Amino acid sequence: MKTFKDVVDFHGHTCPGLALGYRVAILALKEIGKRASDEELVAIVENNSCAVDAVQVVTGCTFGKGNLIFKDYGKQVYTFMKRPSGEGIRISVDWNPPEETDEEKNMWDRYMKGDRSQKVVRAVHNRKAKKIQAILNIKDEELCKITRGKMSLPEEARIYPSLRCTICNEKMMEPKARVKNGNIVCIPCFEKG
């Protein structure tokens, strides 16, 4: 089992978002099985926050294997499913952080406006540490809402042939190719004026 330290080592720093992802991923594995070595476990994440790094490390679901799917909804919602059964769990983070003092709010505001004085940075780090500890120690049912059951599995990852862009000469996967002035082009060249 991967630890929170493993997740921090991968991500590069500790933060509340990373702690949320860690807790969600641990809960998912506890509920539906072991870490993925291939595509037998699928994760659908509805945000691109720090939490997703924790999901990758703990569950073994990655973009490269095609079993980590990103939906840009901006929600702290994570769905995990087993192949081929479709047995799964949907986890919606429903956590309210500890109340902040007026001083903590003031320090955060100063930090967001660019103040990186030692006093402000220390206060911000203390604020984050308090949230991280709360996340790591709260009960599962107080952290999130859980839905269990059979879920619709996405298609397995596919390998597509590569085509070469007639403008930049770089390769792209076939379904991402576009046609511009009768030529096969990549998306960036297609979008250029």
Mean pLDDT by 10 residues, the chain (193 residues): 96 97 97 91 97 98 94 97 94 93 94 96 95 96 95 85 96 95 96 86
| Residue 47 and residue 86 share a domain | yes
Q: Which amino acid is present at 148?
A: R
- The answer to the question of residue 113 being in a domain is no
Q: What is the C-alpha separation between 19 and 136, in angstroms, rounded?
A: 6
pLDDT reported for residue 121: 95
| Residue 49 and residue 144 share a domain | yes
pLDDT reported for residue 156: 82
- What pTM does this model have? 0.85
pLDDT reported for residue 57: 98
Domain range for residue 74? 4-95+138-150
| Residue 167 and residue 84 share a domain | no
